Amino acid sequence: MSKHAAEPHISHADERRKALVEAAYQCIAGKGFSGLRTRDVAAQVGITHATLHYYFPTKVALIQAVIDYAVFQRLLQNVPHYEGNTPLEQIHRFLTVLQQRMREDPSNYLVLYELVRSAPNEPVIQEALAQRDIFADWHARLVSLIEAGIAQGQFRADLDPGSAASILITFILGLGMTLLVSVPVSDEMLVQLERLLTG
């Protein structure tokens, strides 16, 4: 079938499907969720919108694949591993990597924004997002890291882990917004924010 049989069988259909998902992803990043048109997505890959339905029976199916791609392949798979020795180092790395990625590829953030914004009105998205509550995961992980930091004496003793974790996540969410509005952003921000923990 394929010219090179050595690869783990990546069929033409799989490639097309992936290309379509990525095209849809870019469309959402560019024109928003509501601006998504199957005709545009198909045209971007060089096929008709009728052919798109050969790969995805319905627009919803395409959207679900996009969500999957956005959440599980672009966001989660690249989630920072909290590498580092001390809790501070791990949190630092977490924040740094997220910020860096946000700058390098803002589309991921824009698409995620679109998803959470549209979720209340679109059951499909709502379900897909509820399947894996990223922010709850982040929060839990940060709380335990902060608790560890307090226990080790690295963080301030009077720090409330829950609130501090919420501050960090809220900050990350806000960082995403700065892609859209003009707020001066610098690396110094992270440095200062971390002082919140260490005091």
Partner DNA sequence: CATGAATGAGAGTTCATTCAT
Partner DNA sequence: GATGAATGAACTCTCATTCAT
> Rule CB under 7 A: is residue 141 a binding residue for DNA?
no
> Rule CB under 7 A: is residue 48 a binding residue for DNA?
yes
**What own/partner pairs with CB < 8 Å and gap ≥ 24 does 32-37 have?**
32/114, 33/114, 33/115, 33/117, 33/118, 33/122, 34/118, 36/63
> Rule CB under 7 A: is residue 123 a binding residue for DNA?
no
> Rule CB under 7 A: is residue 59 a binding residue for DNA?
yes
> Rule CB under 7 A: is residue 180 a binding residue for DNA?
no
Q: Is 49 helix (H, G, I), strand (E, B) or coil?
A: helix
Q: How far is the CB of 4 from its own copies (least distance, A)?
A: 26
Specify the residue, 19 or 178, whose C-beta has the smaller distance to its own copies: 178
> Rule CB under 8 A: is residue 124 a binding residue for its own copies?
no
The only residue of 35, 46, 57, 123 in contact with its own copies, by rule CB under 8 A = 35
Lay out the site mask for its own copies across 48-87 (x = CB under 8 A, - = otherwise): ----------------------------------------
Q: How far is the CB of 110 from DNA (least distance, A)?
A: 19
> Rule CB under 8 A: is residue 114 a binding residue for its own copies?
yes
Q: Measuring CA to CA, how many Å separate 165 from each of 2, 120, 194?
A: 49, 25, 11
d(CA 158, CA 57): 55
> Rule CB under 8 A: is residue 32 a binding residue for its own copies?
yes
